[in-house]
Amino acid sequence: MTKLIAPAKINLRLKITGCRPDGYHLLDMIMVKLDLADQVKFELTKEGIYLESDSDKVPCDRSNTLWKVVELVRQESRKKFGAKIFFRKRIPTAAGLGGGSSDAASLLLALRDQLGLDWSDEKLIQIGVRVGADVPFFLVQGAQKVQGIGEILTPLALSELQQVEGLPLILINPGFPVSTKEAFGWWDQGPHPASGHPLPLTGEGLGVRVGLTGAGLDAIPAQLENDLERVVIPRYPVLSEIKELLIRVGAHGTLMSGSGATVFGLFESTALRDRGFEQIERLKKKNWWTWKGNSLGGEESNLD
């Protein structure tokens, strides 16, 4: 069987800039991958689609992104084939970390190679966005500025990339999912609090830009911001509690990723992150999922 690695992501920025007539929201985002990843194993078969997961929270039917990828590749390539797929979930589901989209992207890339399809990256992106808005991001290497409905990708400049790779961070998920569709629906209903931030981004207060340079946390390509915090956090106040805890244990910046409910905290050093994580493990609530690690640059192939 072929083994694939599907990394998680966080949004350092998620701005909603408009809405298309078909209801899809236009976005302006900065996204980076993490060294947290699902594992997907698959083999081609003559017919049929078989999915199996180690998580009972993931559907193994037509609603799964992996199933959708196989069906779309069949349609677009006009090739007859089946697939047997096993996947190990390490990324929480419906958590704003892009797990399902990353799984889909990893399989889409592998099918192109194994079926010998002469498809450009642009072709893959066109297929990927039909599976999910985050899929195109996972089809390319490195941190990206992501616009449109997720299909317009611009690599960060080298100087910017160096500031967002290798960021020490902690993730906390409160143990419940947030529907992306519902979160954007709440945004459409309005109103939106003027500040956009129920809590300061950092212990130093609003407006501080955080990133990583040789001298420590400094400026990244954009201030940490997520428009969906404005409508998700009021409905789930525990996310404010999580942000407060991350600041209390030393995070220099905190933000909800995607549509939530995972919140991340950025730290000035690995040592400070590890010290903060030890405190969180003692203070966290029973149902909280926690993880510590780093953001990736272009070294995704080294994941295991």
pLDDT at 50: 96
Are 165 and 148 contained in the same domain?
no
Mean pLDDT of 91-111: 96
Q: Do 228 and 124 share a structural domain?
A: no
Active-site residue numbers?
9, 134
Same domain? 141 vs 221? no
Residue-wise pLDDT for 134-147, tens only, equals: 999 999 999 999 99
Give 195 or 180, the one with higher predicted confidence: 180
Q: Assess whether 150 and 167 both reside in one domain.
A: no
Give the number of other Cβ atoms within 10 Å of residue 180's Cβ. 17
Judge if 184 and 273 occupy the same domain. Answer: yes
Q: Which domain holds residue 114?
A: 2-155
CATH assignment of the domain containing 35:
3.30.230.10
Percent of the residues in the chain that have a pLDDT greater than 70, as a whole number = 87
pLDDT (0 to 100) of residue 190 = 81
Same domain, 96 and 232: no
CATH of residue 249 = 3.30.70.890
Residues present in the chain in total: 304
Is the predicted pLDDT of residue 296 greater than 70, yes or no? Answer: yes
Q: What is the pLDDT of residue 216?
A: 38
pLDDT reported for residue 224: 86
206 and 126 belong to one structural domain: no
Domain identity same for 149 and 198? no
Do strands 82-88 and 49-53 pair parallel, antiparallel, or not at all (unpaired)? parallel
Where residue 213 falls among pLDDT bands split at 50, 70, 90? very low
pLDDT tens column, 144-194:
999 999 999 999 887 777 778 899 999 999 999 999 999 999 999 987 765
Q: For the chain, what percent of residues have pLDDT higher than 90?
A: 77
pLDDT in tens, 86-95: 999 999 999 9
The yes-or-no verdict on residue 129 having pLDDT over 90 is: yes
Domain boundary among 155, 173, 198: 155
Work out the pLDDT band at 303, boundaries 50, 70, 90.
Answer: low
Residues 94 and 59 in one domain: yes
Over the chain, what is the mean pLDDT? Answer: 87
Residue 208 has pLDDT above 70, yes or no: no
What is the model's pLDDT at position 165?
Answer: 85
What pLDDT shows up at residue 153? 95
How many helices, marked H, and strands, marked E, lie in the chain? 9, 11
Give how many domains the chain has, as a whole number: 2
Per-residue pLDDT at 243 exceeds 70 = yes
The answer, yes or no, to whether residue 292 has pLDDT greater than 50, is yes
Note the pLDDT of residue 207: 33
Bond preceding residue 191 cis, omega within 30 of 0? yes
Give the pLDDT score at 192.
74
Task: Check residue 95 and report its DSSP letter.
Answer: S
Boundary of a domain, candidates 155, 181, 216: 155
What pLDDT score was predicted for residue 138?
Answer: 97
pTM comes to 0.88
Please calculate the CA angle 139-143-145 and round it to the nearest 5 degrees. Answer: 90
167 shares a domain with 69: no
Are 271 and 240 within one domain? yes
Tell me which H or E stretch contains 30.
strand 25-45
Torsion angles phi and psi, residue 40, rounded to 5: -120, 130
Alpha-carbon span 134 to 151, nearest angstrom: 8
Same domain, 151 and 60: yes
The per-residue pLDDT for range 218-238, each reduced to its tens digit, is 444 346 889 999 999 999 999
Helix (H, G, I), strand (E, B) or coil at 298: coil
- Boundary of a domain, candidates 135, 155, 175: 155
* Whether the predicted pLDDT of 12 surpasses 70: yes
